[in-house]
C-alpha cells in the first residue's frame, strides 16, 4: 500500500508538472491561458519591475537551493529518496502558480510584428525551443527528471541503474540546452513588451548566476570526465568549442551522471 501511494504521489506530480509547463508556454506567449504575462492590474512602472524581478528571484532561489547536493543530503533524511524529486516538483508547481498569480503586467510595447508570415515563423521558433527543452529531458531520463522513475523503482523494489556519463545529441552541442531555452524563449514572441523584457533579463541573470553552482555539483559528483566535458563543449553558445579537440561527444564517459539531479 505504501509503495502504491508513493507511485500515485509521483504520478500526480508528473501530471501537474506537465500542466504547469504548458501554462508557462501560454503565459509567456500571451496565448489562451487565464492570466498571461500582459494580463492583470497595472501598477507604476518601477513598482511592477521590482515585484516581477523579486518573483523570479524567489522562483530561482527555490529552484537552485533545493537542487543542490548539500540540500538533498539533508532533505532525504526527512523525505524518502523515492519521492524526493516528486516533492520538489510539487514545490515547483506551487512556485509557478505563485509567480503567475502575482505577476504584474507591464504591457508597454517594445516591438510588435504584424506580418502573418513573420508571426507564423516566430511562433514556430517559439514552439521549437520548447520542444527542444522537453527533448533534452529524454537524454538523461525524462521520467526520472519528472520523478516517476524513482517511484516506479521503489514500487518494484529494484535498485536504480547506475548510468555512465554521456554527452550526446543536444548535450554534444551545448552543456545546458534547457537553460538556453529558458533564456531565449521570452524573446520569441511577436508582441514583445517591457514585461517580457523583465522576465527575459531576470531569467538570464538567474541562469548565469546559478550555472556555476550547478556545475560545481556535477564536478563534485562526476569529477574529471565532467571537467573535460566542460572544457570541450560550450555552456550556451553552440559550436563554440575548440575544433582541435580530440574529445568525442558521442563516446560515453566514465562517471555516474544524471543531469536531472541538478536541475
Domain count, the chain: 1
Question: 1 pLDDT band (50/70/90 cuts)?
Answer: low
Question: 165 pLDDT band (50/70/90 cuts)?
Answer: low
H helix or E strand, kind and range, residue 201 = helix 194-222
Angstrom distance (rounded) from CA 17 to CA 146: 8
Model pLDDT for residues 236-260, shown as the tens digit of each residue: 988 765 443 444 444 443 333 444 4
**What is the span of the domain harbouring residue 186?**
2-262
Nearest to 93 by CA among 131, 53, 62, 51: 62
pTM: 0.84
246: which residues sit within 8 A by CB, 6+ positions away? none
Angstrom distance (rounded) from CA 74 to CA 81: 11
Residue-level pLDDT at 248: 45
Model pLDDT for residues 101-143, shown as the tens digit of each residue: 999 999 999 999 999 999 999 999 999 999 999 999 988 789 9
Model pLDDT for residues 46-91, shown as the tens digit of each residue: 999 999 999 999 998 888 888 777 888 888 889 888 899 999 999 9
Amino acid at each position: 500500500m505504501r509503495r502504491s501511494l508513493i507511485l500515485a504521489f509521483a504520478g500526480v506530480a508528473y501530471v501537474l508538472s506537465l500542466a504547469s509547463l504548458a501554462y508557462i508556454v501560454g503565459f509567456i506567449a500571451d496565448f489562451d491561458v487565464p492570466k498571461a504575462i500582459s494580463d492583470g492590474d497595472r501598477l507604476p512602472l518601477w513598482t511592477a519591475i521590482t515585484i516581477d524581478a523579486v518573483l523570479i528571484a524567489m522562483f530561482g532561489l527555490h529552484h537552485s537551493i533545493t537542487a543542490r547536493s548539500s540540500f538533498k543530503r539533508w532533505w532525504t533524511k526527512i523525505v524518502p529518496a523515492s519521492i524526493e524529486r516528486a516533492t520538489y516538483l510539487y514545490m515547483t508547481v506551487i512556485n509557478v502558480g505563485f509567480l503567475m498569480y502575482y505577476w504584474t503586467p507591464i504591457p508597454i510595447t517594445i516591438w510588435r510584428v504584424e506580418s502573418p508570415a513573420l508571426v507564423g515563423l516566430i511562433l514556430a521558433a517559439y514552439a521549437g525551443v520548447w520542444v527542444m527543452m522537453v527533448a533534452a529531458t529524454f537524454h538523461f531520463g525524462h521520467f526520472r527528471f519528472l520523478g516517476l522513475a524513482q517511484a516506479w523503482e521503489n514500487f518494484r523494489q529494484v535498485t536504480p541503474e547506475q548510468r555512465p556519463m554521456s554527452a550526446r545529441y543536444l548535450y554534444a552541442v551545448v552543456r545546458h540546452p534547457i537553460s538556453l531555452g529558458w533564456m531565449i524563449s521570452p524573446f520569441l514572441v511577436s508582441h514583445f513588451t517591457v514585461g517580457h523584457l523583465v522576465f527575459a533579463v531576470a531569467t538570464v541573470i538567474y541562469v548565469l548566476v546559478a550555472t556555476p553552482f550547478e556545475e560545481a555539483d556535477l564536478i563534485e559528483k562526476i569529477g574529471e570526465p565532467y571537467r573535460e566535458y566542460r572544457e570541450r563543449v560550450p555552456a550556451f553558445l553552440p559550436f563554440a568549442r575548440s575544433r582541435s579537440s580530440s574529445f568525442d561527444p558521442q563516446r560515453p564517459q566514465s562517471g555516474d551522471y544524471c543531469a536531472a539531479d541538478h536541475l
